[in-house]
């Protein structure tokens, strides 16, 4: 191992030693973020933002394919507007940032910086929804929102974060419920197909619903350390917001009705999910679909005749095939380069040197498992594309395997506690009576809260894991980020 | 004219009668924006936002081609950070929104919502720029900013607006100056190639510079009513910000030096420029490159056998050729549809009916000049693409013609006043001695302020238009939006 290489790798704390420090090391050393003078806020650096741009591009395409269009709402919400829906304001008011001055002047009414935009969309719907012909409206926006969190962590919890928020309004409850489920499925498909992260789809318990929602659905992922992370949520609002904002439409039968609404969101937190699902002690491991660089080409004996020419030829061919490629022809040593792009999680490395060229081949190294394969230079783009698919599948399989190994069924609180102690954190499947007191008790005694009521139910027993009374459903429990 | 069609067209005020009202009518009737409960802020509706998405996509591609990468800075600036550069804070502090409360708690230090992000970028540069190897950094971000304006107009001046802000930092003054000019040229090329808007490139006078800049360059466009609109600016900062923020780097010669910076921005104001450059009394007229719908297909005698099939076939073929196409097969009358898509500024309309089909042709109508052409259905996509290029060229030529007809050379203040009175608003070319008092005097007496010192100079006379002393340069004057 070259000296530089050693130094670089040493700079990351081992994930087994201190997972939280390992995470912080990665976000800094892979140059995803930088801290700022603005407490609880971060700079998303070019490499981190390029991951977000890829996430945006793919998700936005999926939204448009399902009939949604983008809009842009103001970032400010007047206090009186925020207060129109009772549950909603109770949920959000304690954690918003308030603008009270414009220039030198005190505002007549203070404005909060949007923590989410239901109230703004409702204010707009009231203007534009009058007839069944105006429905549905299938809207989305890509913006940042602010929640005045006390403790923050890059990507996972920050005072400002980037997200998309979908907002839709429909003539009937059924259409709105269908939309809520459709978008949850879009989210799950995105996590699996683009991020190689398996997720559990389910419904949140009453106590864990979004402020103002009738029902909240979520996808839950299990991180490498056995903690759960909510990767996306989709909310069904019924006609509660419509009533609070007095939005009515003339239906086909000429009667006035209240429309039904949904909202759904995913955030830059997904980048945290990628890090903690796939990362290892050498750094980041990026799923090919969202990696800013999919293939890095590292020439060996770079100054020998023909090597750089061949490396450029390969780079051009792979780029022409639609891949995101970087050829590193800097004067740094190959060892330094290996460590650098491992840290940055580039899925595939192509090594090419004089002996490879003589044999009309190159060596492909896959980041997630370190495997090396000699591959013919003939039709290399096709080989690399196949390899990237292999990488995606391998990463997904490993994440699924980790989740399987860390998912346990329990029938008593003692068993939950014992399992978490002996086997470490993970998902716990256990039955529940539906009583909030039991939900709280499980969390108090084990540290594992209810993550969701999975759509795919199992009948583990007929008794609540807490009180022993008849169980209504199986809940997925876990310690959460 | 069908009844619906009549009604729709009547709904816009004539631009000759009341240009301001005509503008307001278009932004509302073409569904570009909606007003909100948030004073001075607007909703950008799907049709308006789709124009912005096209602008973003093209500009972002041009930024990346010139080596820039995207990042994301916090939206808040602590007051102490804003105050670090004296001129900058003086320019912006009077018009910022202040966050003073987080949840229930008063903040220890108030935060402004960014009006622009130089201070945040400097704070970040200080962290990451240490050596000449770290330079240049060529950054951009797509965000919204807030300036607490008293009077607002959709797209032209609002309290929150969307923009991109480029921020770069370089080892030498010359590199930074080159960057400032390069991005001004990118802006000018974008306006001409994508928006069909001719612009004048020039330098702002001292009194009109960006707060904290050594030099500000701008592109100025002339609207249909003869008023000037600044479409983009590019600033050279020298090392003033670096000194204020104590950013230094070790150069190749091992001495510590201050780096040189630039910033440059374009905003949603461009949508206002499109409206006021190309629009007419039937509504919006969109340049093909940014039109959300480039081609609308309106079938005639829609329920006759084969018409809708043929219309779909055409739509599919045009879509496959990469065009943005809408087939309107709703039950509205063709006349209503004509008026609707004229209002929305769709560049090309394809009319297809039974007689057209029999003749293996369709009729193409171009929005900007109302011309109708019968075109063979064979290889229609190529014909439509050629037509869209014609539309772009025709729109650009018409805008250039308007600017030529409204640009006047004057040698005295009286002549400026008389010209503006007799011929209406426009650009005035006149010589200037470089004295701010003369600049102010011209504006006070004629209403026309200095827009820029054009790069392409003419020697109209050797005397200042105001004081008669020796002239230093030709200034472009105009009444501004």
Stated as kind and residue range, the H or E segment containing A54 is helix A46-65
Burial of residue A174 (CB within 10 Å: 0-12, 13-18, 19+) is exposed
The H helix count followed by the E strand count for chain B is 15, 23
Among candidate residues B310, B314, B399, the one with its CA nearest the CA of residue B357: B310
Cis peptide before B136 (omega within 30 of 0): yes
Give the SS3 label for residue B62.
helix
Residues 6+ apart with CB under 8 A from B96: A103, B82, B112, B113, B115, B146, B147, B148
Stated as kind and residue range, the H or E segment containing B189 is helix B173-193
pLDDT of residue A88: 86
Q: How far is B46 from chain A (nearest CA, A)?
A: 5
A150 or A425: which leads in pLDDT: A425
Comparing alpha-carbon positions, the chain A residue that sits nearest to B42 is A74
Instruction: Read off the CATH number of the domain in which A230 is found.
Output: 3.30.930.10
Q: What pLDDT band is residue B3 in, cutting at 50, 70 and 90?
A: very low
In a domain, B426, yes or no: yes
Residues 6+ apart with CB under 8 A from A65: none
Cα–Cα distance measured from residue A225 to residue A15, given in angstroms and rounded to the nearest whole number: 8
Cα–Cα distance measured from residue B386 to residue A420, given in angstroms and rounded to the nearest whole number: 68
The residue of A31, A36, A134, A159 whose CB has the most chain B CBs within 10 angstroms, and thus the best one to mutate to test that interface, is A36
Rg over CA atoms, chain B = 25
Does residue A154 have a pLDDT over 60?
yes
> Into how many domains does chain A fold?
3
Does residue B5 have a pLDDT over 70?
no
**pTM (two decimals):** 0.96
Chain B contact for A151 (CB, 8 A cutoff) = no
The 10s digit of each residue's pLDDT in A108-132 is 999 999 999 999 999 999 999 999 9
In a domain, B289, yes or no: no
In a domain, B394, yes or no: no
Strands B256-257 and B215-222, by their bridges, are unpaired
Do both A138 and A256 map to the same domain? Answer: yes
pLDDT of residue B1: 36
In a domain, B411, yes or no: yes
Do both A384 and A446 map to the same domain? Answer: no
Exposure class string for B320-348: b at 16+ Cβ within 10 A, else e: eeebbbbbbbeeeebbbbbbbbbbbbbbb
The 10s digit of each residue's pLDDT in B80-118 is 999 998 888 999 988 999 999 999 999 999 999 999 999
Q: How far is A105 from chain B (nearest CA, A)?
A: 9
Contact B314, B352 (CB under 8 A): yes
Give the SS3 label for residue B117.
coil
Contact A79, A111 (CB under 8 A): yes
Contacts of A140 in chain B (CB under 8 A): none
CB atoms within 10 A of CB B316: 12
Do both B330 and B441 map to the same domain? Answer: no
Does residue A452 have a pLDDT over 80?
yes
Give the SS3 label for residue B366.
strand
The 10s digit of each residue's pLDDT in B184-226 is 999 999 999 999 999 999 999 999 999 999 999 999 999 999 9
Chain A contact for B67 (CB, 8 A cutoff) = no
pLDDT of residue B10: 58
In a domain, A268, yes or no: yes
Query: What Å distances lie between residue B356 and B303, B319, B396, CA to CA?
Result: 15, 21, 31
Phi, psi of B255 (to 5 degrees): -105, 155
Do both B164 and B121 map to the same domain? Answer: yes
Does residue A39 have a pLDDT over 60?
yes
Instruction: Read off the CATH number of the domain in which B472 is found.
Output: 3.30.110.30
Phi, psi of B107 (to 5 degrees): -70, 145
Chain A contact for B72 (CB, 8 A cutoff) = yes
Contact A357, A380 (CB under 8 A): no
Which of A36, A76, A103 has its CB closest to that of B124? A36
pLDDT of residue A35: 95
**B44·A71 Cβ contact <8 A:** yes
Q: How far is A347 from chain B (nearest CA, A)?
A: 21
Query: Where are any strands of DSSP class E within B353-465?
Result: 361-366, 372-376, 407-409, 427-432, 449-454
Counting one residue from A and one from B, how many pairs have CB atoms under 8 Å apart?
A: 150
Determine the average pLDDT of the residues in A433-450. Answer: 97
Task: Tell me the residue range of the domain where A50 lies.
Answer: 14-102+109-278
User: Across chain B, what does the average pLDDT equal?
Assistant: 96
Do both A132 and A274 map to the same domain? Answer: yes
Residues 6+ apart with CB under 8 A from A116: A92, A145, A165, A263, A265
pLDDT of residue A3: 42
Residue whose token pair is 């923020």:
B245
The vertex-B119 CA angle with B82 and A106, nearest 5°, equals: 30
In a domain, A385, yes or no: yes
Q: How far is B98 from chain A (nearest CA, A)?
A: 5
The 10s digit of each residue's pLDDT in B143-185 is 999 999 989 999 999 999 999 999 999 999 999 999 999 999 9
Do both B122 and B240 map to the same domain? Answer: yes
- What is the separation of C-alpha A295 from the centre of its chain, rounded to a whole number of angstroms? 23
From A278, A307, A341, give the residue that closes a domain. Answer: A278
From A245, A278, A311, give the residue that closes a domain. Answer: A278
Do both A82 and A199 map to the same domain? Answer: yes
Contacts of B44 in chain A (CB under 8 A): 71-72
Stated as kind and residue range, the H or E segment containing B160 is strand B160-170
Do both B314 and B454 map to the same domain? Answer: no
In a domain, A284, yes or no: no
Do both A381 and A428 map to the same domain? Answer: no
In a domain, B285, yes or no: no
Among candidate residues B236, B372, B346, B143, the one with its CA nearest the CA of residue A41: B143
Do both B370 and B455 map to the same domain? Answer: no
Do both A141 and A175 map to the same domain? Answer: yes
Residue whose token pair is 């079938």:
B299
Cα–Cα distance measured from residue B45 to residue B153, given in angstroms and rounded to the nearest whole number: 16
Cα–Cα distance measured from residue B129 to residue B116, given in angstroms and rounded to the nearest whole number: 21
Determine the average pLDDT of the residues in A410-421. Answer: 97
pLDDT of residue A2: 41
Do both A422 and A343 map to the same domain? Answer: no
Q: What pLDDT band is residue A10 in, cutting at 50, 70 and 90?
A: low
Rg over CA atoms, chain A = 25
Does residue B8 have a pLDDT over 60?
no
- What is the separation of C-alpha A386 from the centre of its chain, rounded to a whole number of angstroms? 26
Burial of residue B437 (CB within 10 Å: 0-12, 13-18, 19+) is exposed
Q: What pLDDT band is residue A11 in, cutting at 50, 70 and 90?
A: confident
The residue of B71, B108, B120 whose CB has the most chain A CBs within 10 angstroms, and thus the best one to mutate to test that interface, is B71
The residue of A72, A148, A324 whose CB has the most chain B CBs within 10 angstroms, and thus the best one to mutate to test that interface, is A72
Query: Where are any strands of DSSP class E within A147-212?
Result: 160-170, 200-203
Cα–Cα distance measured from residue A294 to residue A286, given in angstroms and rounded to the nearest whole number: 9
**B75·A37 Cβ contact <8 A:** no
The H helix count followed by the E strand count for chain A is 15, 23
Cα–Cα distance measured from residue B157 to residue A327, given in angstroms and rounded to the nearest whole number: 45
From B219, B252, B278, give the residue that closes a domain. Answer: B278
């Amino acid at each position: 191992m070259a000296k530089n290489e050693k130094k670089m790798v040493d700079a990351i704390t081992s994930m087994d030693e201190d997972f939280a420090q390992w995470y912080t090391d990665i976000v800094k050393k892979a140059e995803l973020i930088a801290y700022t003078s603005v407490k609880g806020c971060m700079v998303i650096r070019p490499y981190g933002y390029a991951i977000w741009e890829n996430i945006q591009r793919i998700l936005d395409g999926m939204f448009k394919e399902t009939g949604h269009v983008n809009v842009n709402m103001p970032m400010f919400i007047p206090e009186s507007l925020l207060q129109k829906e009772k549950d909603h304001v109770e949920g959000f008011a304690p954690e918003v940032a308030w603008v009270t001055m414009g220039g030198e002047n005190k505002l007549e009414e203070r404005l909060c910086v949007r923590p989410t935009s239901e109230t703004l969309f409702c204010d707009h719907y009231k203007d534009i929804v009058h007839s069944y012909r105006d429905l549905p409206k299938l809207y989305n926006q890509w913006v940042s929102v602010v929640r005045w969190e006390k403790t923050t962590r890059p990507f996972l919890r920050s005072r400002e974060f980037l997200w998309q928020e979908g907002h839709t309004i429909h003539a009937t409850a059924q259409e709105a419920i269908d939309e809520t489920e459709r978008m949850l499925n879009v989210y799950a498909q995105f996590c699996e197909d683009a991020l190689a992260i398996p997720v559990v789809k389910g419904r949140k318990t009453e106590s864990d619903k979004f402020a103002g929602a009738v029902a909240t659905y979520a996808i839950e992922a299990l991180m490498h350390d056995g903690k759960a992370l909510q990767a996306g949520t989709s909310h069904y609002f019924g006609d509660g917001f419509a009533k609070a904002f007095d939005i009515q439409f003339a239906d086909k039968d000429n009667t006035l009705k209240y429309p039904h609404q949904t909202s759904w969101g995913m955030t830059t937190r997904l980048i945290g999910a990628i890090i903690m699902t796939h990362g290892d002690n050498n750094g980041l491991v990026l799923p090919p679909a969202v990696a800013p660089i999919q293939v890095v080409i590292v020439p060996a004996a770079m100054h020998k005749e023909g090597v750089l020419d061949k490396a450029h030829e390969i780079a051009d061919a792979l780029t022409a095939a639609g891949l995101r490629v970087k050829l590193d022809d800097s004067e740094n040593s190959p060892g330094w380069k290996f460590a650098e792009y491992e840290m940055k999680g580039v899925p595939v490395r192509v090594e090419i040197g004089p002996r490879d060229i003589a044999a009309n081949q190159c060596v492909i190294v896959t980041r997630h498992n370190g495997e090396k394969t000699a591959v013919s230079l003939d039709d290399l783009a096709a080989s690399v594309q196949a390899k990237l698919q292999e990488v995606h599948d391998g990463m997904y399989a490993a994440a699924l395997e980790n989740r399987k190994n860390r998912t346990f069924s329990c029938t008593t609180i003692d068993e939950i506690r014992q399992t978490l102690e002996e086997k470490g954190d993970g998902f716990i499947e256990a039955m529940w009576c539906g009583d909030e007191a039991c939900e709280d008790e499980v969390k108090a005694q084990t540290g594992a809260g209810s993550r969701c009521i999975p759509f795919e139910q199992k009948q583990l027993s007929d008794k609540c894991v807490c009180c022993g009374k008849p169980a209504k459903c199986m809940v997925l429990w876990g310690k959460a980020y």
